[in-house]
Structure 1
Amino acid sequence: MPVTDSIFLFAESREHPMHVGSVQLYTPPEDAGPDYVADLYARMVASTDVDPLFRRRPGDPVASLGHVWWTVDRDIDLDYHVRHSALPAPGRLRELFALVSRLHSTLLDRHRPLWEMYLIEGLADGRFAWYSKVHHSLLDGVSALQLLQRTLTADPEDDEPHVPWHLSRRGAPAGSGNGSSGSLLGSAWSLTGDLVGAVPAAMRIGRLAVGPHEVALPYEAPRTMFNVPIGGARRFAAQSWSRERIERVRRAADVTGNDVVLAMCAGALRAYLSEHDALPDEPLIAMVPVSLRPKDRPGDGGNSVGVTLCNLGTDHADPLDRVAVIAASMEQGKALFGDMTVLQSLAWSGLTISPLGLASVPGFVRLTPPPFNIIVSNVPGPRKPLYWSGSRLDGIYPTSVVMDGQALNITVTNTATTVDFGVVGCRRTVPSLQRIVLHLHDSLLELEAALQLS
């Protein structure tokens, strides 16, 4: 088991579940009957051919050796891993998100492969939902979303319920390691180049740290109400906005779409903290994950994610000032890491997030400054309308990880027509979390008004 995967098993505890997932909303076809979802479930659990990735569990789940290697189970109890649920009346999104909040709070069983999926009906508007949770040691967020997309089709007439645990697998990519002396020598030579190249990269970061800079660096973040020890219960909220609205703001502000997403988050966080009389004078710093996975290997398991830090400009009242700060910070961050290899990027990213590994040490979070204030991820989603067993995909809402010192997480993806925000927080330390979704909406309105788009 690679270290990048096992770290999520080492870090997990009852207070810190380490699984990622998402909630997908679907509109059934017009001719769907009352038993449509029940029939879907029956057909899904009948797909008993399970790919090796979904057979993995820790080699010894009750000892530290379970963090070192995987065991592949031969028999998979799909009735356990795949569950059929229904919402109580009145079947609003509020009831759906309350159910997801509870499901997302519970640990995955390490004596079984580390995934669960729930088909949920009972929404008053006739739609149904699909909630998945997969341990971060198996898949990172980008891989999980790409795996989901492989179950979808552009054909609304395709009524086959494709399932993520049984998809056509590609062969090993050309040049993948096979234990030969040539591949080992190649890896050693590549590692040598990475280490040599890391020296000028380190010098570049060092010069930046002591001079004026727009990019955020670790430990420049103020302490906030989010940077405290947390409990195990979670709260989840979500909302979609039109991709066209986000695109209009992007064009008018002459920034990237990710800059607009970060600006919406910055405005929402500023408003939320102000409500609680907890807005610091210094700007909040967001940790922004960046996928390092090769584009020709999107569905591989494991983790390949780097990070950069972004100044959110929350000390500015003007939304356009915040956008300018965010764009400059992200641009300098890209330039800083642009010349690094994947291994170098992972190494520097590891240094950035390494304090999180000590968060469980008693007193560490309370006595040390936070390396950053919040994690904000933007994971690319589908660009065209997609369907699952004839049902139209209406939204994808990511459900991610929070931990000691990082009580709030905002993850964003998209469908063909929407930009979808999933917000996860510690139930105890982030009160009225749904208010953040309302502030995201207000923040977008502020941007549109400032750019005279209203």
Structure 2
Amino acid sequence: MVMAITDSAFLLGESREHPTHVALLQLFRPPPDSGPEYVSEFYRDLLTRTEVSGTMRRRPVRRAATLGQWSWVRDEDVELEYHVRLSALPRPGRVRELLELVSRLHGSLLDRHRPLWEMNVIEGLADGRFAVYTKVHHALMDGVTAVRRVTEGLSTERDGESLPPWAPSARARADGGAKGDVIDQAWGRVKGVTRMATEVAGTPAALTKALVDAYRDGAATLPFEAPKTMFNVPIGGARRFAAQSWPLDRIRAVGAKADATINDVAVAMCAGALRRYLIDQDALPDRSLVAMLPVSLRAADTAGSSEGNAVGAILCDLATDQPDPSVRLARIRASTRHAKAMLSGLNPTEIVALASVLVAGLAVAPVPGLRGMVPPPFNLIISNVPGSREKLYWNGAELVESYPLSIPAEGQAVNMTLTSYAGQLSFGITGCRRTVPHLQRLLDHLDAELDALEA
């Protein structure tokens, strides 16, 4: 099956310095009655779950029959012992050691000779918890789908039955296991092609009108208007990861006072933290930073498929040139509302096409001679991935924290991704290890910025 262009782009653009997978770090608390061998038993039980869905069997290939384009083939011999691994932290087993290990795991490439996913079960945390780090290639699915895939098999009851992310969904099992999974995906692709055929014809005109309207509107945030910063530089392949959670009630209360959404407040936290960090580095530009905010199209995607990528994007003025947190939040709120209003007149195909225009400038970053001449299309990506509102369990173990990891790109040394879970908003910050010093200080700045917004 030939890969969609939006999916194959993540393979074409990948290199040792630029891994293009997304991941989720989950922290679990073992059941109260568990013994010292619980994590080992948990891992061995995973290896007995040998039923693998069609999506998680996909392996990328390039063939003459597809004129060199990337396509998917079904791997009939998925080796779970390779994809699912057991690791242990060195003493003293703090969160610091966990994040160091996850940083190294996130910097390694997935093996293209196998299905593009891995899971690491990690024991050795001093407080008795254990972690699960799961990464999936962005060519296989986008971040929203990856989080859903990793969590949809968990139970809302401690004693409920749970399924690992590679297992067929409950719906596919009810429809006949792997056969149902394949039929569901095939029917989704047929509907997707039919829908796209009707949308593509009008895309150039609609896209041109949207760009012209944005240019004429002085309030619009346009690509290539972002200042150059210490983040917009060539990057290496090693990663550093930092993570922390805050109560959603605090963020929701700020939004209620300011007539802003939870996402607006979260973006304002990121903007204030970036401003503080750049001041510390004596590197704050005079002009405001610009963020790209991905917009999931899953709700609008009538193809009914959970595979591949269905993501649009908007640009947001972060108002980092403004020292007042309340004024900064107001500018961010106005910027996101304006951008969303522009998207409201476009169909999903047109929104994806517009996102492609917004990120096209990233392709220029690696070209020798052009790197210093072209301004960045934006300064960084800030994503918000919805998670479960309810507490989740995996065979009795309680999921207590969940943190997303995403993709720094060439010329984009930092990525900030958020996900919600059980009354918490979790921030995962992924950065280039070589070019972003003291990444963890952004967590302190996020905390200080939420305090400032509340004040």
Q: Same fold (TM over 0.5)?
A: yes
Question: 2-side partners of 1:362 and 1:209: how far apart?
Answer: 29
Deviation at residue 120 of structure 1 after TM alignment: 0.5
1:249 is the counterpart of 2:249: no
Q: TM-score of the superposition, structure 2-length normalised?
A: 0.92
Aligned to 1:385: 391
Would you say the 8 A contact 2:207–2:353 is kept in 1?
no
Would you say the 8 A contact 1:10–1:67 is kept in 2?
no
Counterpart residue identity of residue 242, structure 2:
A
Closer, same or farther in 2 for the Cα pair 1:4/1:440, shift >3 Å?
same
Counterpart residue identity of residue 347, structure 1:
A
Aligned to 2:176: none
1:306 is the counterpart of 2:312: yes
Question: 1-side partners of 2:63 and 2:139: how far apart?
Answer: 13
Deviation at residue 156 of structure 1 after TM alignment: 0.9
Deviations 1:395-454 (A, max 9, x none): 1111100111100000000111210000000001000100111111111111111xxxxx
1:270 is the counterpart of 2:278: no
Question: 1-side partners of 2:400 and 2:370: how far apart?
Answer: 42
Aligned to 2:167: 166
Deviation at residue 13 of structure 1 after TM alignment: 0.4
| SS in structure 2 of the partner of residue 303 of structure 1 | coil
Question: 1-side partners of 2:57 and 2:398: how far apart?
Answer: 29
| SS in structure 1 of the partner of residue 131 of structure 2 | strand
Question: 2-side partners of 1:108 and 1:279: how far apart?
Answer: 36
Closer, same or farther in 2 for the Cα pair 1:49/1:289, shift >3 Å?
same
Deviation at residue 200 of structure 1 after TM alignment: 4.8
Aligned to 1:224: 229
| SS in structure 1 of the partner of residue 27 of structure 2 | strand
Closer, same or farther in 2 for the Cα pair 1:410/1:49, shift >3 Å?
same
Closer, same or farther in 2 for the Cα pair 1:66/1:108, shift >3 Å?
farther
Give the CA RMSD over aligned residues. 2.2
Question: 2-side partners of 1:419 and 1:64: how far apart?
Answer: 43
Counterpart residue identity of residue 284, structure 2:
L
Instruction: From 368, 371, 378, give the equivalent of 2:374.
Output: 368
Would you say the 8 A contact 2:188–2:303 is kept in 1?
no
1:337 is the counterpart of 2:343: yes
Closer, same or farther in 2 for the Cα pair 1:358/1:253, shift >3 Å?
same
| SS in structure 1 of the partner of residue 11 of structure 2 | helix
Deviation at residue 297 of structure 1 after TM alignment: 6.7
Closer, same or farther in 2 for the Cα pair 1:205/1:80, shift >3 Å?
same
| SS in structure 1 of the partner of residue 345 of structure 2 | coil
Q: Which runs of 5+ in 2 are unaligned?
A: 173-179
Would you say the 8 A contact 1:249–1:448 is kept in 2?
yes
Would you say the 8 A contact 1:283–1:312 is kept in 2?
yes
Closer, same or farther in 2 for the Cα pair 1:315/1:187, shift >3 Å?
closer
Report percent identity of matched pairs.
50
1:13 is the counterpart of 2:15: yes
| SS in structure 1 of the partner of residue 371 of structure 2 | helix
Paired residues, number: 441
Aligned to 1:434: 440
Would you say the 8 A contact 1:40–1:161 is kept in 2?
no
Question: 1-side partners of 2:370 and 2:280: how far apart?
Answer: 28
Q: TM-score of the superposition, structure 1-length normalised?
A: 0.92
Would you say the 8 A contact 1:230–1:428 is kept in 2?
yes
Would you say the 8 A contact 1:58–1:66 is kept in 2?
no
Would you say the 8 A contact 1:154–1:387 is kept in 2?
yes
Q: Which runs of 5+ in 1 are unaligned?
A: 450-454
| SS in structure 2 of the partner of residue 334 of structure 1 | helix
